[in-house]
Amino acid sequence: MTRTMPATPARPAAAAAGPLDLARVRAEFPILAEPVRGGRLAYLDNAATSQKPESVLRALDDYYRHKNSNVHRAVHDLAERATTAYEGARDRIAAFLGAAREEIVFTRGTTESINLVAYSHLLPLLQPGDEILLTGMEHHSNIVPWQLVAAQKGARVVAAPVTDRGELDFEAWRRMLGERTRLAAFNHVSNSLGTINPVAAMVREAHARGIPALVDGAQAIAHLAVDVRALDVDFYACSSHKAYGPTGFGALYAKRRHLEAMAPWQGGGDMIRTVSFEGSTWNDVPYKFEAGTPDIAGAIGFAAALDYIQAQGLERIGAHEHALLAEGTARLEQIPGLRLIGTAAEKAGILSFVMDCAHPQDVGTILDQEGVAVRTGHHCTMPLMQRFAVPATVRASLAVYNGSDDLQQLERALHKVRRLFG
Ligand code: PMP
């Protein structure tokens, strides 16, 4: 089997200086000009998935027009182009996260990344009575995989409490790191509350007790600078589609020593070194975990998306979104009968709320009529909804292309909800 490595790793685009040019940013996202319900779109459902810039669309198109072939398997020109682009994407993603290329496993996204760790890393180590420590604000994809493996071994999943502001009760979490804890798993940014967790301190605390840590970075990588080496985290999971890239693709960062020790979790082509009917041997990491033909375009699109983020600059994106979060919070606080859920001191651009006059589903329907795209429901965090004693929330979530006009459109639509239901 040939494995063509790119001669030179893809270089991150230089970050531009100065404030964000919103008109220019918006011009790069063609879908934002799409009329919805006959009017202007205010897209505020970015925590579910973000829109894609021209550069990502072009990278996907270019791949299928000029490079499409299978990777790693042939010596012809197109196979070489596809492999170079695909492995170049691995270099790009590794550089973005501060990892080595061997530590980046391509997956279908955060969910698959966490499942991989659950089955390949944790399951063989678990003993009856062992614990997996979570927080009360985890997404179902950072709860259910652990429950599945725990059930097989008589282990259990425990979760640390969340305060009324939607922050982790850090002291309680720390006390729950115990003799039986085999892994601590927590999100970097809560998708329902926007809370930014103190992940560096959490990793330190876990490591001080010899416990590995997994961070769910689904809501972080498009908004905060992430350096897995500086965090010293064992596993970091992320998705392309929440960071301006295509759906169905993502990555797992894992320390090399973990990947070396882990058994493959899916068998098939490309993950093997040799196969005979008596037995098989495994390819090097990370390929040992990548059975079958991968989502080649997904990798290339994800790398283009990270280039886009880098070109805008995470600091600039963060400042822009933070200013909008402050403005949005102030606007929503003025609306009678509206209650924000999640008011942490450290917050990313997520505004979750309930209204006393209408169910979140009805609020969402009226907002949609006004061209405002938000998410309503439990956001795959049912335990958190129980914690706040609400069936669901309305969630407006921000991205680089949002502006004050989107927040004003949201505010006007919420006043309409009050007129109709209040
Ligand atoms: N974790 C968090 C915090 C999320 O917000 C999401 C997506 N809503 C996931 C995990 C799962 O991501 P994906 O569906 O891309 O696998």
Q: Is 50 in the pocket of ligand 1 (CB under 6 A)?
A: no
β strands within 286-373, DSSP E:
338-340, 350-355, 372-373
Which atom of ligand 1 has the smallest separation from the CA of 380? 8
**β-strands 104-107, 250-254: how paired?**
antiparallel
Q: Is 107 touching ligand 1 by the criterion CB < 6 Å?
A: no
The distance between the two most distant Cα atoms of the chain, rounded to a whole number of Å, is: 72
What ligand 1 atom has the least distance to the C-alpha of 113? 16
The CB of 239 under 6 Å from ligand 1? The reply is: yes
Distance 265 CA to ligand 1 centre (A): 21
Domains contained in the chain, CATH given:
22-51+313-421 (3.90.1150.10), 59-310 (3.40.640.10)
C-alpha torsion angle, residues 326, 332, 337, 341 (rounded to 10): -50
| Of 302, 396, 356, 303, the residue nearest 10 (C-alpha) | 303
- The answer to whether the CB of 155 falls within 8 A of the CB of 129 is yes
User: Quick check: CB of 240 below 6 Å from ligand 1?
Assistant: no
Gap between the terminal Cα atoms of the chain: 67
- Ligand 1 atom 5, closest CA: 191
Q: Which of 108, 115, 139, 189 for a ligand 1 pocket mutation test, highest count of atoms within 8 Å of Cβ?
A: 139
Q: Which of 189, 176, 137 is CA-nearest to residue 321?
A: 189
Report the alpha-carbon distance of residue 415 to residue 422 in Å, rounded: 9
Instruction: State if residue 136 touches ligand 1 by the CB under 6 angstroms criterion.
Output: no
- Residues 78-117: b if buried by 16+ CB within 10 A, e if exposed: ebbbbbbbbbbbbbbbbbbbbbbbbbbbbbbbbbbbbbbb
Cβ-contact 178, 129 below 8 angstroms: no
Residue 195 CA to ligand 1 centre (angstroms): 15
Angle CA 99–216–197, to nearest 5: 105
Q: What is the DSSP string of 266-278?
A: S-STTSEEEEETT
* pLDDT in the model for residue 308: 98
The values of phi and psi at residue 264, to 5°, are: -60, 155
Tokens (6 digits) for 202? 């959490």
**Cβ of 310 less than 6 Å from ligand 1:** no
From residue 87, alpha-carbon distances to 3, 54, 62, 131, 151 in Å are: 9, 22, 16, 37, 37
Taking alpha carbons only, the member of 250, 249, 137 closest to residue 191 is 137
Assess whether the C-beta atom of 139 lies below 6 angstroms from ligand 1.
Answer: yes
Q: Which tens digits make up the pLDDT trace of 114-161? A: 999 999 999 999 999 999 999 999 999 999 999 999 999 999 999 999
Cβ count near 316 (within 10 Å): 17
What ligand 1 atom has the least distance to the C-alpha of 112?
16
Ligand 1 atom with the smallest distance to the CA of 187 is: 3
- Sequence-distant (6+) residues with CB within 8 A of 171 are none
10 Å Cβ neighbour count for 55? Answer: 16
Give every residue of the chain whose pLDDT is below 50, as ranges: 1-14
Which atom number of ligand 1 is nearest to the Cα of residue 48?
8
Q: Given this model, what pLDDT does residue 74 score?
A: 86
From the CA of 67, how far away is ligand 1's center (Å)? Answer: 30
Residues taking part in catalysis: 380
Distance CA 63, CA 78 (A): 10
Ligand 1 center to residue 151 CA distance, Å?
Answer: 23
191 CA to centre of ligand 1 in angstroms: 8
Return the structure tokens found at 156: 């259990």
Structure tokens at 389: 């004693």
Q: Say how far residue 331 (Cα) sits from the centre of its chain.
A: 27
